[in-house]
Structure 1
Amino acid sequence: MEAEEMRRLGYRMVDLVVENALNRHASPAIQADTPEALAQALGGPLPEAPGDADAALDTLARVALANMQHGDHPRYFARVPGPASFAAVLGEWLGTGFNTIATSWGGGSGPSTVELVAVRWLAEMLGLPEATEGVLLSGGSLASLTAFATARAEMGPGTAYFTDQTHSSLPRDLRLLGWAADELHMLPVDAGYRMDPARLAAAIQADRARGRTPRMVIATAGTTNTGAIDPLDEIAEICAAHDLWLHVDGAYGAPAAITAQGRALMPGLARADSLVIDPHKWLFQPYDVGACFVTRPGALERTFAMNPEYLRDVKTAPGTVNFGDRSPELSRRSRALKLWMSLTTYGAGRFRAAVARGIANAEFAENYLRQNPARWQVVTPAQIGVVTFALVGADAAEHARRAKVVSDTGYAAVTSTLLNGVSVLRLCTINPLTTEDDIRQTIDRLGAA
């Protein structure tokens, strides 16, 4: 492709992205056409001859990229939104355009330095110990798998403890790594949907009495269902007393700790042996980027480092890092460029303000629901950007119907979930572009559906 054509198409792509950002509030929050319609628009025979790049861009933007959940939409309240900042998008584009690799120091010292800096900045914002090390991955699932593999390498096999509110991907990670069924100990939660330290301590004692070997506790800083935060400090005390690895899944919720309000809700976060966050959720990065932090220096390399003969030339001097030795990923792009670009452009203070806005949005939603007790019941109060509620007298089918009606209009994306077998509606309000009117209108439309 000629240079002038590359520039023209690149500028056109920028225009498409900026127009989408400017008009997303007027577009559907979620959209899904039929498999047949999508296959007809995007499929066909394998192209053998050159085609029209402008037409291809139009098709991708108009069809492929329109038909998905738009996690950056101000009224996308389902699951966990992904409101990406434009400065982060610029960092992502630059990395892709330069075909960046961040595997070894010898093959990517610049991108590796950016990742070291970004990981250190994130750890500082979260209040983690100074010696914390980390690595960026695709998201919470692979980041937790990396942490679990490290825990097993450092501590040995044994029983892992978690709750029925633990994200479903984490027990899957454990099974993939070879944890047997009888080594997975799921605990019931307390009335606030949090891990109960007394139950945890009793389970550890009972397992020891049965000849089992307790090894790891998986706590959550912000459950997906309700935003509940496990009592991390009490759990850390139990782990210290029994020499257990403490893993904290903070994929969506731990970024609340960059604010004073959120930090106060998470005492003990810095005592974790490993912590996972998803910056593509509440740190405003485009998909994908997850982060695995380990507070035991050298543990990641002790678990994942390898020394094949064909990598001898990129082995590094002391003080340098091969990120390919910190996770299962070897060929890896630089996910740090977007974090570095956005933190450098906006500053940490603007990130803190944006996270605080998400917390306040959920509190506004709770207060608005409580103004109409004849219609709405608040089931769990606002907790770091999540509130759950029920239509008085409605069952699961009715909640699902109303959520679908609102979502099908495109105005907002809303889902229901189950808490102890009881159906509730749920809003996750972490997009800083969400307005109070967006929340009011969404709740009113759910009531009228």
Structure 2
Amino acid sequence: MERAGRRAVERVLARLAAPGEGPVHVACTPEELDKEWREPPPEEGADLADLVDRLADSALTAGMRSDHPRCFAFVPSAGTFPAVLADALGAAFLAVPGAWLVGSGATQLELVTVEWLCALLELPEGSGGLFVSGGSEANLVALTVARDSRLGGDPRGARAYCSDQAHPSVARALHILGFSRDQLVVLPADASLRLPVDELARRVAADRAAGLRPFAVVATAGTTSTGAIDPLPELAAVCRAEGLWLHTDGALGAVARISDPGRALLAGLEASDSVTVDPHKWLFQPYDIGCLLLREPGLLRDSFALTRHSLDVDAGYLSASTRPAPGDATDPVNLSDHGVQLSRGPRALKLWLSLKTFGVRAFREAVADGMRRAAHAGERIAAHPGLELTSPPSLCVVTFRHRPPGLPPGPELDAVQGHISRTVVASGDAMILPTRVRGEQVLRLCTINPRATDADVDAALDLVAAIGDQLSSGTRDSGHGPLG
């Protein structure tokens, strides 16, 4: 055990010490991985240290290295060493913050860390919440509470609202909850790619007049494609006037509020009834750790308490593990009554240890630096004759495209961006993926990695420009379009 443990620690330290070494992406086909890893269940054991090496050399390195400083795809987590230690400690001690009886220490750390997040995001006094797997689960739990709070268990005629820039997990959550697709009203985003307040108010009024039952609005604080922030104060005013639940999906952008440049951008976040936060994004934690914060955290128990859902009058052994002991002055907190999971790992531990190790100031500065890097990328793109911005830098996201001379917007220009992205990824020198903005395919940079520098951004943009210029040069020489 000691030899294998040392080997694992050595491999972890080597990995974390050199995030910029090696390719950003290691491509493997399903056939290659199937050939290497598919086998019958092993009847006999093997040497653990050797297995650690095999995993570190192959399976765990296949795919994208999200902590690489030139990985600008998706919303790449950078990870922290304290978080790695926290995950190992939690697994070794089998910490389970479900029932207080089982994991009181882990539960207390989760409660404290939730309080920290509420304070950092300047949410109202008394706010609370729960750590979950990620933004998808946070949105699901939030919409469950919204349904129970606003509809009283009767979903007939219900309507929820979001923009067409909202994350698909919103639609999936409503599907899981049993709502039909037409019960989610998807409004086209405005020219700034935000949820249009006037159109929302008009549609809510029209739906009420038609006998329908509006109950929730999902705003986005940092859309995945462009980083756009919906107008939170104005949306909150509509929701207050109409008695609607306002859920803000801040999986990407809510954490920007802890930084000086992001604080004003997130004005109005405190008016939300619930907020999704993903620490495995802009708080640099390894997967998985999401969080749902609520103005009235007691509503979680109303929806999820085991006593509500028990199939036995006494709830058997579960009630024995969650009810207070005779003479206890206070009821213990059982987080298994607050969400979907009964058995749950100590996700908060990694964030608690990271915040204690580095201090909040380091995170504030890292978040601000990610925003500054996006602005730097925007300036470089705007100054380059072969590149053009397709949406301005917002939070840590900027979108752009290569524009060959004389090629108008359309399918051929879209195909150019796809070709450039595939070529960049195949090179292993950077990771840039496409998205769609206003119906057109563009390239996207997400600059949250605190290990990235302006030089890394410049290198990625230079690579895009070089590939695009090479494509344009081939076009001029052949007399055909950019792709043949």
Which of 342, 363, 368 is equivalent to 1:351? 363
Larger radius of gyration: 2
1:116-265 alignment runs, 5 A limit: 116-156=111-151, 157=155, 158-265=158-265
Q: Are 1:395 and 2:406 counterparts?
A: no
Q: Verify the 8 A CA contact 1:276 1:292 in the aligned structure 2.
A: yes
TM-score when normalising by structure 2: 0.90
What's the counterpart of residue 278 of structure 1?
A: 278
C-alpha distance in 2 between matches for 1:97 and 1:422: 49
Which of 5, 12, 18 is equivalent to 2:13? 18
C-alpha distance in 1 between matches for 2:262 and 2:77: 19
The alignment partner of 1:134 has SS state of strand
Q: Using the TM superposition, name which of 271-280 and 180-189 deviates more.
A: 180-189
Q: Are 1:406 and 2:424 counterparts?
A: yes
Task: Give the deviation of 1:327 after TM superposition.
Answer: 0.6
What CA deviation, in whole Å up to 9, does each residue of 1:240-270 have, x standing for no partner? Answer: 0000000000001111011121110011100
Task: Give the deviation of 1:319 after TM superposition.
Answer: 4.8
Task: Give the deviation of 1:45 after TM superposition.
Answer: 2.6
Which of 439, 446, 463 is equivalent to 1:421? 439
Q: Verify the 8 A CA contact 1:30 1:410 in the aligned structure 2.
A: yes
Letter in 1 for 2:386: R
CA RMSD of aligned residues (A): 1.1
Task: Give the deviation of 1:22 after TM superposition.
Answer: 1.8
Q: Are 1:315 and 2:322 counterparts?
A: yes
Which of 84, 87, 92 is equivalent to 2:87? 92
What CA deviation, in whole Å up to 9, does each residue of 1:176-212 have, x standing for no partner? Answer: 1011222110001111100110111011011111111
Q: Verify the 8 A CA contact 2:3 2:49 in the aligned structure 1.
A: no
Q: How many residues align?
A: 443
What CA deviation, in whole Å up to 9, does each residue of 1:356-411 have, x standing for no partner? Answer: 11111100100111111x21111111111000011114612110111111111111
C-alpha distance in 2 between matches for 1:113 and 1:319: 13
The alignment partner of 1:24 has SS state of coil
Which of 315, 323, 329 is equivalent to 2:341? 329
Letter in 2 for 1:301: R
The alignment partner of 1:25 has SS state of coil
Q: Are 1:371 and 2:366 counterparts?
A: no
Q: Verify the 8 A CA contact 2:25 2:431 in the aligned structure 1.
A: yes
What's the counterpart of residue 433 of structure 1?
A: 451
Q: Are 1:66 and 2:68 counterparts?
A: no
Task: Give the deviation of 1:142 after TM superposition.
Answer: 0.7
C-alpha distance in 2 between matches for 1:190 and 1:301: 37
Which of 67, 71, 77 is equivalent to 1:76? 71
What's the counterpart of residue 3 of structure 1?
A: none
**Structure 1 stretches of 4+ moved >3 Å:** none
What CA deviation, in whole Å up to 9, does each residue of 1:14-73 have, x standing for no partner? Answer: 110111112221222222312222122222232111212222111111110110222111
Letter in 1 for 2:320: D
Q: Using the TM superposition, name which of 102-111 and 54-63 deviates more.
A: 54-63
Q: Using the TM superposition, name which of 422-431 and 18-27 deviates more.
A: 18-27
Q: Using the TM superposition, name which of 159-168 and 65-74 deviates more.
A: 65-74
Q: Verify the 8 A CA contact 1:140 1:251 in the aligned structure 2.
A: yes
Letter in 1 for 2:107: S
C-alpha distance in 2 between matches for 1:390 and 1:95: 44
Q: Verify the 8 A CA contact 1:316 1:322 in the aligned structure 2.
A: no
Q: Verify the 8 A CA contact 2:129 2:297 in the aligned structure 1.
A: no
Letter in 2 for 1:420: R
C-alpha distance in 2 between matches for 1:32 and 1:408: 8
C-alpha distance in 2 between matches for 1:297 and 1:380: 37
The alignment partner of 2:318 has SS state of helix
C-alpha distance in 1 between matches for 2:26 and 2:302: 45
C-alpha distance in 1 between matches for 2:335 and 2:397: 34
Letter in 2 for 1:366: G
C-alpha distance in 2 between matches for 1:46 and 1:71: 31
C-alpha distance in 2 between matches for 1:19 and 1:416: 32
Q: Using the TM superposition, name which of 391-400 and 192-201 deviates more.
A: 391-400
C-alpha distance in 2 between matches for 1:379 and 1:226: 9
Letter in 1 for 2:441: S
Q: Verify the 8 A CA contact 1:387 1:427 in the aligned structure 2.
A: yes
C-alpha distance in 2 between matches for 1:367 and 1:184: 38
Task: Give the deviation of 1:316 after TM superposition.
Answer: 4.2
Task: Give the deviation of 1:98 after TM superposition.
Answer: 1.3
The alignment partner of 2:275 has SS state of strand
What's the counterpart of residue 372 of structure 2?
A: 360
The alignment partner of 2:267 has SS state of coil
Q: Using the TM superposition, name which of 117-126 and 45-54 deviates more.
A: 45-54
TM-score when normalising by structure 1: 0.97
What's the counterpart of residue 49 of structure 1?
A: 44
C-alpha distance in 1 between matches for 2:242 and 2:191: 26
C-alpha distance in 1 between matches for 2:323 and 2:79: 34
Unaligned ranges ≥5, structure 2? 308-314, 325-329, 468-484
C-alpha distance in 2 between matches for 1:215 and 1:248: 14
Q: Are 1:34 and 2:29 counterparts?
A: yes
C-alpha distance in 1 between matches for 2:63 and 2:334: 36
Letter in 2 for 1:427: L
What's the counterpart of residue 339 of structure 1?
A: 351
The alignment partner of 1:65 has SS state of helix
C-alpha distance in 2 between matches for 1:357 and 1:253: 14
Q: Verify the 8 A CA contact 2:28 2:63 in the aligned structure 1.
A: no
What's the counterpart of residue 478 of structure 2?
A: none
